Each structure stands twice: as C-alpha cells, then as structure tokens.
C-alpha cells in the first residue's frame, strides 16, 4: 500500500463497531499513502491530505491484498458478505477489509491531531520499544491492588498486549495471573526481580509470535492458551494447565509453577 494512490473506495455498509467518519469515501479517494505505522493495536495510514486513516481489526478483521484480473464478459465479481471496505490502488492491487463480527473500527484523523485521538492519547508504552523495561512496568503496577493479569490488559500500562499474550507472558515469567500487581514493585515503585522476568517474558512471547506470524486464534504453538487440562510445557513441571475467568476474560496458567 505504501506509495500507492487510492483510486477508489467501495464502502459497503454504514458502520462497523461504530459509524464510518463523515465523507469517508471522498476524503480517501485520490490520496497517496505515504506510510503505514502501528500504535498499540491500531494501524495508522498516513495520507497525502495530511489526514491519517486509523484502523482497528477488532476480533475477526483482516486485510486481503490481491491483484484482481479483469473479469470476462458476463462474469460477476464474487463478493464476500463480510468484505466491508475495498480500496482500489493505483498499483493495480485491491485491498479488502473483511470483518465477520464487525468489531473493527475505521476513523480519519485530521493532520497533527493523532496524539489527541481518544483511542491513542491514553496508550501506555510499546512493549517492544527499547524504552520498555522492568522499571517502566514496575512503576505502572506500583500500588495497584488488582490481579496482575487484569492490569496487564490495561492499555495504559502496556500498549497492544492482549489477552492471549498476557497469559503467555505470565507463564514465561513463572508468575501467577492472580497475584496482586503491586507485588512486582517495591513500595517506592522500583522493579523487583519479578518485574524483570515479566518484562522479559512480554518481549519474548511477542517477538516469537511475530517471527512465526501466528494468527491469534491458532493455539497449536501457545504455551498455555486454550490448553486447559493439558500438562504444563515447562520442563520439570508436573502441573497441568487450568482455565479461570478474570474480568470477563479467559486466563490459562499452571498453578504448580506460576506463583
């Protein structure tokens, strides 16, 4: 998409999780895509109009990029009922946003106001940035009485860490999801050894997932996610994976080696 002009936008419904912004199609048509970035779970598409297209994939959304051949006479194009937005690019590539559950979001941000957008202004540090470390994590958790797993899902604490990888990181760090978040910091907010392990675990599981390009709903290589009742994969541990519910979300962990 980078460097291509958006020649046409086919918006096939008025909303996803929320309504599309006003004049969505006309504001995108004819614009060149200057760059694409990410902040937390949001994609940021920088346009030549100085606006930014913000996209959240939701639970089931994805993009499909393909070079569409000219249909033969009499042929009708195949349209998936869940293809909600189609971008035709000057490069000849068609990029389609498909979202069966319609939990995705698309918005347009006026130039220079990205940091003010409601979805972005309260986001915490990026977990894969060099600046994110045990000290940053400990300060964010200091004084918090909530369970550690619940705090990790707060996007103000760490941006982009979702339910699956919070469970994975806690198992990697040998920490119970039920322990109080404040226990990884000293009373002054300095990192304990548990914060060092957890910060390293967060980075490790995310880097591994990126390297494998694993789709979130595939559990074949996860350590604990959706492995309720199976033996713990940690060498030397005799425990089994359990599933509990925290803040309405499923948590998977090993009660034997996670403390």
- CATH 3.20.190.10 segments of the chain: 6-116
What's the confidence (pLDDT) of residue 220? 58
Predicted confidence at residue 246, as pLDDT, reads 98
Instruction: State residue 157's pLDDT score.
Output: 96
In a 13 Å sphere around the CA of 247, the CA atoms on its Cβ side amount to: 12
Tally of CB atoms within 10 A around 85: 24
For 6-55, the pLDDT digits (tens) are: 999 999 999 999 999 999 999 999 999 999 999 999 999 999 999 999 99
- pLDDT for the residue numbered 28: 98
pTM: 0.84
| Residue where the block lists tokens 């996209």 | 55
What does residue 147 show for φ and ψ, rounded to 5 degrees? -65, 145
Residue 217's pLDDT is 47
Q: What backbone torsions phi and psi does residue 95 show, to the nearest 5 degrees?
A: -110, 120
- Predicted pLDDT at 212: 81
Q: Which residues of the chain form CATH 1.10.8.50? A: 134-253
Q: How far apart are CA 9 and CA 58, in angstroms?
A: 21
Class for the domain spanning 6-116: alpha beta
Regions in the chain scoring below 50 on pLDDT: 216-217, 219
Question: Which CATH number describes the domain made up of 134-253?
Answer: 1.10.8.50
Spatial separation of the C-alpha atoms in residues 161 and 168, rounded to whole Å: 11
């Amino acid at each position: 998409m980078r460097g291509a002009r958006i020649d046409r936008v086919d918006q096939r419904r008025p909303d996803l999780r929320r309504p599309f912004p006003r004049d969505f199609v006309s504001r995108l048509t004819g614009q060149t895509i200057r760059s694409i970035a990410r902040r937390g779970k949001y994609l940021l598409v920088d346009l030549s109009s100085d606006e930014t297209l913000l996209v959240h994939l939701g639970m089931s959304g994805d993009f499909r990029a393909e070079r569409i051949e000219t249909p033969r006479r009499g042929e009708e194009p195949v349209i998936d009922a869940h293809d909600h937005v189609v971008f035709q690019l000057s490069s000849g590539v068609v990029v389609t946003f498909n979202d069966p559950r319609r939990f995705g979001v698309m918005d347009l941000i006026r130039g220079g106001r990205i940091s003010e957008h409601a979805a972005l202004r309260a986001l915490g540090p990026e977990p894969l940035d060099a600046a994110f470390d045990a000290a940053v994590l400990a300060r964010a958790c200091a004084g918090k009485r909530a369970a550690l797993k619940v705090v990790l899902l707060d996007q103000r604490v760490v941006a982009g860490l979702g339910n699956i990888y919070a469970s994975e990181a806690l198992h990697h760090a040998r920490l119970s999801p039920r322990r109080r978040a404040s226990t990884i910091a000293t009373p002054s907010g300095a990192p304990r050894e548990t914060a060092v392990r957890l910060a390293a675990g967060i980075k490790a599981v995310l880097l591994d997932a990126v390297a494998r390009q694993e789709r979130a709903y595939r559990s074949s290589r996860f350590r604990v996610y959706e492995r309720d009742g199976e033996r713990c994969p940690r060498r030397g541990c005799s425990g089994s994976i359990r599933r509990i519910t925290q803040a309405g979300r499923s948590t998977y962990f090993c009660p034997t080696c996670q403390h």
